[in-house]
Structure 1
């Protein structure tokens, strides 16, 4: 879940923001509230936040000053400003400082909430700033590590896995809980990366740091053993895992087998054979499985119509998409969305 913080000196505004927007449906959790900029900074320094919604005019530290401080602390945090009126001088200054959107509080009831939520979601999902690649500190460094953990390259990359485990061991109590949450959320993506692996044999990730490291190392060994039973060399297995990670991370990007095989330095025919043998799925079947998995997420996290989701997931024909979706999930896309909304 994306963690969000609401900052406004008026308690009714904070309550209204909490209740009015369909946060859960878009995968956003309101991690907390703050009545002042200083309280907001204390909160952000104590736990990771990906989205900040802040009033511009507040007693003490203004929203503009808060944006500057937040950017210094973690430039990857996306900021949406709240204002009582369309004061374009303030709004332009906030956007110049890095805010990605603004909401006029007096027009909340007139807003297209789904459209507003989708804008916020797109902003948060944009790639992290390039300066994080140099290492970074604090929450930005943690986020970079957890993003690496969400992939599957650590299964075959000893240096990457060692770095992740070192970061886990060095994490404080608060960060350790973030790692546990990352592992739990990533479990679904790992399953999507290797659908034919027997995930039922694996227990859910524990929450204690020491136990989590032991669990993670055991999982890595199990998946490595499964991959190696294909009989291919370490280099070929690594190439296929790299291809799998790229496909899952770019779901819906209309990737071609020739493009993927070239990116991992394997001939198209050899890639096709080794991909099937190592993942136990054909390349085409794997693409379809990943696309349906991505569609499931979009059905739950957005309000896009089914035809739009089909298109975004690489299906030109909505009827074919619905058939494939039902084959894999047992439900039509509309039924899947309704069933999960009723449970929520």
Structure 2
């Protein structure tokens, strides 16, 4: 087994104090984050992985998603604090068989916890046996013998699945609801699976919100793994491949899994840095290159929403204008072609805002470049003269263009960006006030606190307490 937690004391405590050997378990390694764990998994056979959820570099949730695809035979158990319970449902959906609450972990309870975990493994594994420390499946009992199968996926999970009852199920068929609105149907179809897909589409065409996926290469794959894959395909595969009006798809599970890259937090952060700038708005080549790269990563719907919601807020800060409030909410975008349409609309709206000034495209691009440079590193002390020189414009002309295009004078814009960054750090981190002052470009805490109060009506400490109390009340 492998233990993953960013707290070294927690890892060492679990390794030393838990009675692993009593239950036939051996700790083969430890890791401080998801990325380090994946590196260990490349070279070390693991049956059981115990992971924290909140970790830097790669979270436990992202680690679990990756393990489910690339190491589906590994059992997962979650380490959590009591306040992390909102993540437990997500971890169970990803295949975790149990969770350990750190605040309830004491010497007296350790044996009961391991007994419970091993009991679940025994219960869920059925006829699995252990050979040389590895879990080996009994093929004739739990693996598919057919080469092909069909998956039926509702494009909206809440769609009633009564249509599944209309399938011509025969003895020996394997029909199960893999997910809400998603069904897996396997039979020894042979070559007729392709014709059957067309026929089934005709029978179910009364509901155009259903797609049919012809599955290849499933022979010898564990049924539970196919079901887990189907859930992940819906989230990372069909999300990007769905085309309006197309209702039949052909997928090789093996090839599809191999095409999904491992995505680390650095990849997502890099995408955020790109899209939060406005370099893509007036450059078609950059826009399409970044779309291609983003599609290659196959981020989950939740990650796409988080990325573009945050990037959208940066666009609004840069332009001093509301863009998201009047547009389609990112939470309503389900498939990649919808994201592309949404981004095209954002391009048009941003161009409308910047073109009101009637300046030429090169001038607008230069001003947007200046605004991006400010937001990318708010700690820099770049004067108006220095920035004008950076974008090859005269001081007076730059000052006038900046005000006309962005909507406020240069110095006021810099101040507002720093205050906004300080507000984020005050609400999202426990960073000391003096450190926040430095991080937002102010020489000392006293000057920062005075300016912050002038702009918000509260001192930094008061602002933090008010926001934290408000968050607690909303949770309650």
TM bin, normalised by shorter chain, reads 0.5 to 0.7
Residue 139 of structure 1 corresponds to 263
The whole-number CA distance in structure 1 between the counterparts of 2:3 and 2:396 is 53
Q: Which has the higher strand share?
A: 2
What secondary structure is seen at the aligned counterpart in 2 of 1:277? helix
Alignment of 1:115-154 (within 5 A): 139=263, 142-143=267-268, 144-154=270-280
What secondary structure is seen at the aligned counterpart in 2 of 1:262? helix
The whole-number CA distance in structure 2 between the counterparts of 1:281 and 1:291 is 15
1:34 and 1:40 in contact (8 A); partners too: no
Q: How many angstroms does 1:184 deviate by?
A: 1.8
Distance 1:320 1:280, change over 3 A: same
What secondary structure is seen at the aligned counterpart in 2 of 1:213? helix
The whole-number CA distance in structure 2 between the counterparts of 1:228 and 1:6 is 55
1:168 and 1:179 in contact (8 A); partners too: no
Q: How many angstroms does 1:226 deviate by?
A: 0.8
What secondary structure is seen at the aligned counterpart in 1 of 2:402? helix
Residue 69 of structure 1 corresponds to none
Residue 412 of structure 2 corresponds to 285
Residue 185 of structure 1 corresponds to 310
Residue 161 of structure 1 corresponds to 287
The whole-number CA distance in structure 2 between the counterparts of 1:16 and 1:224 is 57
Question: Greater CA radius of gyration, 1 or 2?
Answer: 2
What secondary structure is seen at the aligned counterpart in 2 of 1:276? helix
The whole-number CA distance in structure 1 between the counterparts of 2:36 and 2:377 is 34
Alignment of 1:288-303 (within 5 A): 288-303=415-430
Structure 2 residue 385 is the aligned partner of structure 1 residue 258: yes
Distance 1:34 1:265, change over 3 A: closer
Q: What are the Cα deviations for residues 116-161 of structure 1, in whole angstroms up to 9, with x where unaligned?
A: xxxxxxxxxxxxxxxxxxxxx8537944344311222112222211
Alignment of 1:14-25 (within 5 A): none
Residue 85 of structure 1 corresponds to none
- Higher alpha-carbon deviation: 332-341 or 230-239: 332-341
Structure 2 residue 7 is the aligned partner of structure 1 residue 7: no
Gaps spanning 5+ residues in structure 2: where?
15-32, 50-54, 61-260
What secondary structure is seen at the aligned counterpart in 2 of 1:274? helix
Residue 205 of structure 1 corresponds to 330
Q: What are the Cα deviations for residues 182-208 of structure 1, in whole angstroms up to 9, with x where unaligned?
A: 112222222221224555323432442
Could you tell me the TM-score, scaled by structure 1's length?
A: 0.58
Query: How many residues are matched?
Result: 239
RMSD: 3.9
Distance 1:142 1:222, change over 3 A: same
Alignment of 1:8-157 (within 5 A): 13=10, 37-38=40-41, 51=57, 139=263, 142-143=267-268, 144-157=270-283
1:326 and 1:332 in contact (8 A); partners too: yes
Q: What are the Cα deviations for residues 201-255 of structure 1, in whole angstroms up to 9, with x where unaligned?
A: 2343244222222111101110111100011000000000011110000102111
2:263 and 2:297 in contact (8 A); partners too: no
Gaps spanning 5+ residues in structure 1: where?
18-29, 44-48, 55-136
The whole-number CA distance in structure 2 between the counterparts of 1:266 and 1:314 is 24
Q: What are the Cα deviations for residues 48-71 of structure 1, in whole angstroms up to 9, with x where unaligned?
A: x962699xxxxxxxxxxxxxxxxx
